[in-house]
Each structure stands twice: as C-alpha cells, then as structure tokens.
Structure 1
Amino acid sequence: MPSRSDVITPALLRDWALPVPTGGKEARGTVLVVGGSRFTPGAVLLAGVAALRAGAGVLQLAAAESTAASLSIQVPEALVVGLPETGDGAVRGDPGDLLRGLVAEADVVAVGPGLTDIETTGELLRLVLDAAGRETALVLDAYALGALSHAPDLLVGSGRKVVLTPNLTEAKHLLGRDPGDDLDAEAVELAGRYDAVVSLYGHVATPDGRAWREESGDAGLGTSGSGDVRSGLLAGLLSRGADPAQAACWAAFAHAVSGQRLVPRYGRIGFLARELLDEIPYTIATV
C-alpha cells in the first residue's frame, strides 16, 4: 500500500505561513553556501542567488579560490571567500580557520553545490558540523549527501535542524539500493535513517514520519542546476525563520510552480535553471 502523505497546496501553505522578519537584513539571517570547484562555480552562484530570492538577508559564498573573483562580480550582493584547492580543482578538506569562522556566524549553511570530491567533501562536512552552532540550520546537497552516505550516523541524535535534498541517484547512495516507485515511503525511510528532514523530488518527510508531496513539478525541472536552485531556495526560507519541514514544503512548491510559470515562454523542457531565480519571489508572494 502506498504511504500516506498530504498534498502541498496553496491552501496548506497559507495555513502554514512563512515568517516575515521585521528590521534590517540581519533579521532575515545569513546564508553561507559552501561548494564549487574550479569547473563548477555556477552551482554556488545558483544556490546563493536562490537564497536571496527566497528572503535571506545576508549571503556568503565559499568556493574554490580560482573562482572567487568571478563569483564576486557575478553576485555583487555576496561576500565571497576563496577556499584552497586540490591539484584537480576540488575544494580541499582543510580550508582553515576562515571557513570555520564563517560557519560559526551563519544562520544557515548549505553544503554541497558544485563540490566534486567525496573524500574532501566528507572533511568539509565534519568541519561544518564541528563549527556550526546548535541552532544553525544545514542544507546538504549533491556530494555532501554522498559523504553522508559513508557516515550514516553523523547526524543521528544530534538534534540539529537539517534538510537533505537528494535526487534519485543520491537517494540510491543514501539507501544503499535503488529507490522504489513509492517516493513518499523512500523519503520517510531516509528521514528516519538519517534523522533529518528529507526533500526527495517534491516528496518531503520528517524523522517522525510526517510526509507531504508536491504534485505539480514537471519535466522541465530536470535540467542542469535546478537542484542547486532548490537547495538555495530552501536555505533562504530557513534563514528567514521557517522550520525545516515548513521550508522544505514551501521550497518544493515554489520550485515547481516557478517552473510552471516559465512554460508559456520556453515550453515544458526549454527553460534554464537560472531562469527559475527571478520567478521565486513572485511565486512565494502569490501563494
């Protein structure tokens, strides 16, 4: 029997309204995105801009040092920090005290977009967990999920606010098997196993077994960079004060509906991930 989950609708989200911080940018929180490599800086850019579009007040990007100057020009709203690289352009796992300090001061840390090496990503993930405050929210994506699959007890019992955002390939690594057709059930299993909220292709679950599903996502979201946008969107919602399950449900809806809004201009599969970014604020505002 298929697992039971609630459909994410505008009505459900209106009854679960996002926090609306008052005051300056600090009230909307600081998001730090840790990712990138010499060849994948775009992933960090997409995640970071999505976080701002979702409402984050301050954005910081930590990426391979060879890409820092170009990122700072492309995203002038962000503080950009270059991290030491390996010989093949991956971010090293021992980036030093500068990153540790940024993690300690951030409200949300998103780890994974654009990272390219499992071993060094595992070291980065442990650094983040060691340096982050107990109230710091974490979003783990891409290679950070691969690293987590090699240390499945890393988050268990920690009490941290964590959201995992696997695609089907990453879910396979986390589960240790191919996902079945019932993605509600797979999301619930992953949430319980890793003690974190899980957002798996619009199927959201919590460690205590609550589950939701977003039904309007379309094929166009299956494009390069779309997952980075979703991770940043989630981080931005967490930054403005949403709890992890709430942020995951709102992000799943905003991601899917932003894609729908692009269909009249580009067709179902013709839009780019970066074109989702400008749709996010309007989609959230008009729920």
Structure 2
Amino acid sequence: MSNLLDMIAEMPTLRPMNFLTPGMRYMLIGTFLFSLGSLSVKLAGIRVPTSEILFVRGIIGVVLCWYILRKAGIGVFGTRKFVLLMRGFLGFASMLAEFYTIVHLPLADALVLLFSHPIVVALLGWLVLRERVSKGGMVAVLISLAGVAVVCRPGFLFGTGSAMDPFLLGVALLAVLLTSLAILTVRSLAKTEHPAVVMFYPPLFIAMLAPLFSSDWVMPSLTEWCMILGVAVFMNAGQYYMTRGYAIESAAKICGISCLEIVFAVVWGFMFLGEIPDVWTVLGGSLIVFGTLILGKSGQTRPAPAQKD
C-alpha cells in the first residue's frame, strides 16, 4: 500500500507541479485528498449516522496501519502506552466532533472553523509545554482569532444573535480543542515512537468506541457505501501524504499548501451541495488563512530555555 502511494506521488503526470518541492507536493496531494474525504463525510452524513461513518473509517485505518507496521517489523502497541492511549482517545473524540461539524454545518464554514487549530496548538504549546511564541506568532494568533469571531459573529461582539446554532458552534470549537490536544501528544510521541504506531491508536479507539455512540445505524445504499468508503480511503491516504510532507519539509514552507483545503471546500460545496459562502465566511476564512501563514513563517513557537532549580 505504501509503495503504491509513493508511486502515485512520483507519477509523470505531476510534472506541472515541478516548481513545488517534494514535501510541498506531498502536502498538496494530502490536502486535496482530505478535502474529498470531508466532502464524502458531508454526502454520506445526509442519512447515515456520524458514528457509523466513523466506524468504517476506523476499521480501514486499523488494517492500513497494521499492514505498514507488519511490513516494517515493528510492534503494534509501542512503548509509552499511557500517552498512546491518550492519543487514541483524543483522536477518536476529535474526529467524532469534526465529522459532526462537517455534517451539520455548511462545508466551507465547518472547515474554516476546524482549520483554526494551528492557532490553538500554538497557544497550548505556550501554556502547557512552555514554548515561547514569537511576536509574529502572537500577531498571527490575534488575526486568526479575529477570523473565527467574524465567521461565528457572536452577539456580544456584533450586537445581534450568533449566525450559527450555539450547539453546533460549541461542537466545532470542541473539535478544534481536541484536535490541538491530540497534536500535542503526537509531538511528544514522535520522539520515541514509530509514526505508524502513533497513527494506529486513533482508528483502534474509533473501531471500539464508535458503535457505543449510536443506536440508529442504517443499512447504507450502494451510493452511501461509496461515500463511506471514500471517507476512509481519502482521509487515510491524505494523512499518509501529509505525514510524508511534514517529515521532509519545514512547516513554514508547507502550511500555505494546507490552507488550500478551505478553497477546495468552497469549490466542492458550490459544485455538489449548492452552498455559496457569504461575505462573513470569506472574510473570516481569509483572516484565519493569513494568520496561519504568518504563524508558519514566524517559525510558530520556540522551546523555552531550561529553568534552573
């Protein structure tokens, strides 16, 4: 499977992208695949419960990670089991909230909000890991938070009722927080664990826990099965390519590529769902993307020097 994905990334048909570095090409492919996965979630979720979609994605993810680990001759369960279990639970919880957000909000609005997680990662890195945020990083945080406020338009700032259902907005923001916490665990585990081991735990937790969160599963139609399998294939493949991209390229160079997921969401929403984002979504999304780019160019965060006892 991994050899096939590598061959796709190096196909001659990608020659028009020769101006991009290999890491940027991997990120572009991964971003495109993730956008297709989000569209598949949206289409399948019209009738199929979120937890059912998530369950299939988890089963396929477990099989893929098991295959990679077996081929590499590496143990499945890793060494830092408590942190890996935490990673698995956070991955499950964040993905459940993300899928629910994508299903119930317009696709562009959902991804604009979910895309604000780099800002929360920077803030949590400062608060939890004692990482210093540069001046440029602080400016990026403020710009992106302003973008989130523009998309949400809370009444206490805009003088009117929120443009979004408060419950859906709460789920979206919870997804952002959980995703950010999951990323922090990955940053910690990357020092000691094989990437495929870290990737194995979220789908394992998804496969075990997703059935507990729904009692109204349905038998999907053939079209819905295609959409559900599309979620699993596109998102797992997208994760693979993004991981390859981050492994060989600096975040500053490829964060701009990942911003294209919002653009793809607007295009797919218009083409397949008849969704046209309003001026607030466009303005807020632009601020979030701009802030993310500044955050990447500023080097995000720098580790704080060790404190003397």
| TM-score normalised per structure 1 | 0.27
Which protein shows a greater Rg?
2
| TM-score normalised per structure 2 | 0.26
Report which of the two has the higher share of helix: 2
| Higher RCO, Cα 8 Å, sep 6+ | 2
Report which of the two has the higher share of strand: 1
